[in-house]
Each structure stands twice: as C-alpha cells, then as structure tokens.
Chain A
Amino acid sequence: MNTGQIISAVGHVGLIGWLLFGGQFDAEPLPFEVRDVAVISSEEFEAMMAAQRAPDTAADVAMPQAPEEDQSTPSELPSLPDITPERSEPESVETPSTDERPEPELPEPQPQSVEDLPPEIASPAEEESALLVPDTSRRPQSRPVERVTPEPVAQPPEPEAAPDEVVREETEDSPAEETRPEEEATAPEESVTDITPEASDDVTAAPRRSARPRPRPQSTAQAEDEQDADIADAVSSVLEEAQRGEAEASEEQSTAPALSEGEADALVLAISNCWNVDPGSTAAEVTVVVSVTLNRDGTLAGTPSLVSAEGGDQGARNVAFRNARTAIIACGRGGFDLPSEKYESWREIEMTFNPEKMRLR
C-alpha cells in the first residue's frame, strides 16, 4: 500500500469518525446554505477493507474477482489493529468549517420572506401576487391577468444574517437587470387596467340585479306546485320566507344569479383535473380551504390564498396548500370557463380541497 492510500485511508477513517461522533448541525438557515458532504466513498471503504484483506483499492463495484478464494477465512477478518486506533485522530482534517454549518430545517418558503439574494430572486419570493405575470405575455391563450397590487416592487433585500463569504460571492453577482424588465414590463400594465372595472362592477351590479337563484329544483317544485293548490298555499309562505332570507343575505353581497349545478360541477371538475394528490403523503391528511378571486374573464386576480387547513403537521399543510394553489393556477391559466353574466356569484370562490377519499395513510 502506498503512502497516498494510507493517507487516504486515515483521512477517511477520520471522516467516518466524524460522521459518527462529529458535531451536530444546528443553526438558523442562512441565505445560502453551505454544507460539507463528508462521504464514505466506495474507494475509502475498499481502502479499509484492503487494509485488512488483500490490497485491492480499486473499488470494484461489479464482481470482485474470485472473492472467496482470495479472502482469508472468516476468523481472520476482524483483526485490524493498525487502523482502529487512528480512527478519531484526523477528525480535524477535512471538517474544520463544517461543524458550524447548520443543518437547515427547511422552513417552508412562503411565510419567510426575507432574502438577501439579488432582486430578481427576491421579488417573486416575497410577493406571491407576482406569480402569474410572466406567463401572460408568452402564452397565446392566456388572458390579461389582473393584479391587485399596482406594481410588484422588488423589495430591497434585507440581509438578516451576515452571509459568509461564499454566500456573498454567490449573491452579489447581480444579473438583476435581466429580470427586472420581465417583471415590470408585464406586471404593472395589467394591474392597472383590470382592477378598476372590477371594482366598479362590484358596486353597480349588486343593487341592480334582483337576486333570485334559480336552480333546477325550484322549477320542478313550482310545477308540482301548480298541480296542487293546497300544497302551494302551504309552501308559499315558506318560499316567501326563503326569499326574504335571500334578500337579507344579499344585502351585504351581490345578488347575482348563482351558478347552476352543472356550471359549478364543471368548475369542480376543471380543478380536479389539475389537483395532483399523492395518496401516500402526509399532505393527503390535510384539507385546505383556499380563497380565489377571479376576473370577469375567468382568469385569476391575484394569488390564491389559504383560508384554513385541517389535519397534518405544518409541513404537510404547506404542501397541501401549495398543491391546491398549483391546481388552481395550472387549470386557471387560460381562465376558468364561467358564465360572465353571473360574475358576481363567482368573483370570489372558496375552494375546499378535501383528499379524504383518496388518502391511504
């Protein structure tokens, strides 16, 4: 065995020692994490094996040649006096910087907004409302997307933790100019045009339309009603009351005609097709309610937001929300197919994503 091999073996044994007994990782996440991967490679493993067996360092992943014959009997295997004592010595060799390195506990990105990355990265991360924008200019079928915020301001980076050198270098090369155009070119113009009409719609539409949802059941009810005056009498009071209730309820909200069952079903179906559920995941234990605001053309106005989540831990909830959001964004890219005359009834939608039927765990 040559010197290099010995050095390698010693170093690697040290690494293993460090792996087994070395310091723990913990720290808050840095903007750009640096972790050393101390690796027990096949080479070093073989080196160790070689130290007690035949000197055959070249890690032979495939079939080792004539293994049984070459190898000594089992009883000889364990004796390895030369390596063992050295094991912990070289701990410092490759590891000095790594001990302090944090093991990131991967916080979910959404809640945490601060980045000290260049603007192009920072802005989308902070502002979920910027999501849809880039898409619109490119995809032929997509329609103008409305923005809630007038312009996606690229927030100035707030370095919360002093980044170490590696990070600095990484982040400071700023191709910011390249991105900003993309954000600004698309976002602001759309944000202005659509918001205003929507707002005025909201105000005017409400009082004008006499709100009477006419789902199918009612017509059948009326048909039967006519056949039997007695029943009609009995029922009419209830109906009246129902309408009074409607009127009261509609005072605060619009009184636009509601979606028919078929229209609502079509919407459910459209989103179902984009809702990807992994039945074996913990996210499948979570039911999320997501709020969506739509433009009159059926496109998303802003980003879907989480109303509530039930079941699972925080990580699972984050994933469940992200999956729901992706479903809405993916299927809403070209705008949902909804009757514009009933816009007021579907301008705001609360979508419950309930994977109960699909879950396995």
Chain B
Amino acid sequence: MTYLAKSILLVAGLALAACSNADRFGNNGAGAGAGGDAASADSASDPKSPLYFQEAIGDRVYFEVDRQTLDDEAKQVLDGQASWLTENTDYDVVIEGHADEQGTREYNLALGARRASAVREYLESRGVSSDRLKTVSYGKERPIEICSEESCYAKNRRAVTVLASGLTG
C-alpha cells in the first residue's frame, strides 16, 4: 500500500501535502508529479505547465556557504519565476530553504529559513503577491546530492520554489 496510501493520507490530512512528498527531493527533476499533483499533467514544452517552470525557468537558486545572498544568476532565475507566477495566478508557492550538511541541525534550519525568505522577498519585489508565498526550511534534512564534497554541498545549499496548485495552506 504504502506509498500511495501515505500520499493520499498526506493529501487528505495536511495542507500542502504534495509539497511534503519526500520524493520531490530526489534527483529526478520530474519527481514533483509523484504525489499526483497537477504538475505532472502537462509537458515541459507547455510554457504554462509546472514542468516548464521547473525545468525551463528553473525552480531553484543556489547560495554560498553560510549565506543567503542572491547572486546575479539567482536573480535571473527568480526574475523568470516572478514573471511566470504573474502570468499563472492559479499557483501558490512554497519556497523551501535548504543547507548543506556542514553545520548543526538548528543553525541550518535557521539558515534555510533565511534563504527561503530571501527568495520570497525578491519575488515580492518583482510583483508576486505575498499572499501566494509561503516559506519553509528543511535545514540539512533533505539533501539532493549525497556526497560529502563541495560539488554536492553546492547543490544542496538551495532554495526551491515549489508550486502548489489550488492548495493554500
């Protein structure tokens, strides 16, 4: 049963259930569809699809060690996200902040929150309504790359903009 049943329970019981689905943190870029949410329904070629948002625009930005500063590359990605969100108003957003494993659990939770918040503020500054934006931090609990080297750490220090269709927590 387990996976589907759990997913259903999550959907039923929790706000933003699809966003909490563990598989989303996997390497697989299409993983967002696993929970059965709207994202998987469309193809990446459709500019209105969540998959397009994830892959063509880019759903995530990266950070330096212990930083929440957005560099130019990040801002460029976020500019794309902002305009997409402005056009596709059906979607709300949960911004997840993450950290690499170098740091204590508590500090990394706080650091992830800073990163998520930095993205949130940027999106707001680009005209996305704050009502549509939520943030959450996973600290170092959900790495996407698992090696213990900078190449992996760099990918784990991220903020991911996750679309939540119709669900408002």
Chain A residues within CB distance 8 Å of chain B? 68-69, 73, 75
Contact = CB atoms under 8 A, between A and B. Distances in A.
Nearest to A68: B2
Contacts of B15: none
A69 B6 CA distance: 9
Interface residues of B, number: 5
Contacts of B2: 68-69
A75 B1 contact: no
B13 A73 contact: yes
B41 interface: no
A297 B44 CA distance: 97
Contacts of A75: 13
B146 interface: no
Contacts of B65: none
B92 to A, nearest CB: 24
A78 to B, nearest CB: 14
Contacts of B1: 69
B9 interface: yes
A166 B17 CA distance: 62
Contacts of A69: 1-2
DSSP class of A's interface residues: helix, strand, loop or mixed? helix
A75 B13 CA distance: 8
7 contacts: A68-B2, A68-B6, A69-B1, A69-B2, A73-B9, A73-B13, A75-B13
A258 B109 CA distance: 70
Interface in B11-36: 13
Nearest to A72: B9
A76 to B, nearest CB: 10
Contacts of B9: 73
B131 to A, nearest CB: 28
Nearest to A73: B9
Nearest to B10: A73
A68 B6 CA distance: 10
Contacts of A73: 9, 13
A75 B6 CA distance: 13
Nearest to A75: B13
Nearest to B6: A68
A53 to B, nearest CB: 16
Contacts of B13: 73, 75
Nearest to B5: A69
Nearest to A69: B2
A70 to B, nearest CB: 10
A73 B2 CA distance: 12
Nearest to B2: A69
Return the 4 tightest CB-CB contacts between A and B, nearest first. Answer: A69-B2, A73-B9, A75-B13, A73-B13
Nearest to B12: A73
B144 to A, nearest CB: 23
Contacts of B6: 68
A292 B6 CA distance: 75
Interface in B133-150: none
Contacts of A68: 2, 6
A64 to B, nearest CB: 15
A68 B5 CA distance: 11
A73 B17 CA distance: 14
A180 to B, nearest CB: 64
B155 to A, nearest CB: 28
B43 to A, nearest CB: 34
A72 B2 CA distance: 11
A60 B125 CA distance: 55
B63 to A, nearest CB: 32
A69 B2 CA distance: 6
A73 B13 CA distance: 9
A69 B9 CA distance: 12
A233 to B, nearest CB: 75
A242 to B, nearest CB: 66
Nearest to A74: B13
A348 to B, nearest CB: 58
A96 B129 CA distance: 67
A324 B6 CA distance: 64
A335 B26 CA distance: 73
Nearest to A66: B2
A230 B9 CA distance: 105
A73 B6 CA distance: 9
Instruction: Pick the most buried of A68, A73, A75: most chain B CB atoms within 10 A of its CB.
Output: A73
A156 B67 CA distance: 78
B8 to A, nearest CB: 10
A240 to B, nearest CB: 72
B97 to A, nearest CB: 24
A75 to B, nearest CB: 6
A68 B1 CA distance: 11
A73 B9 CA distance: 8
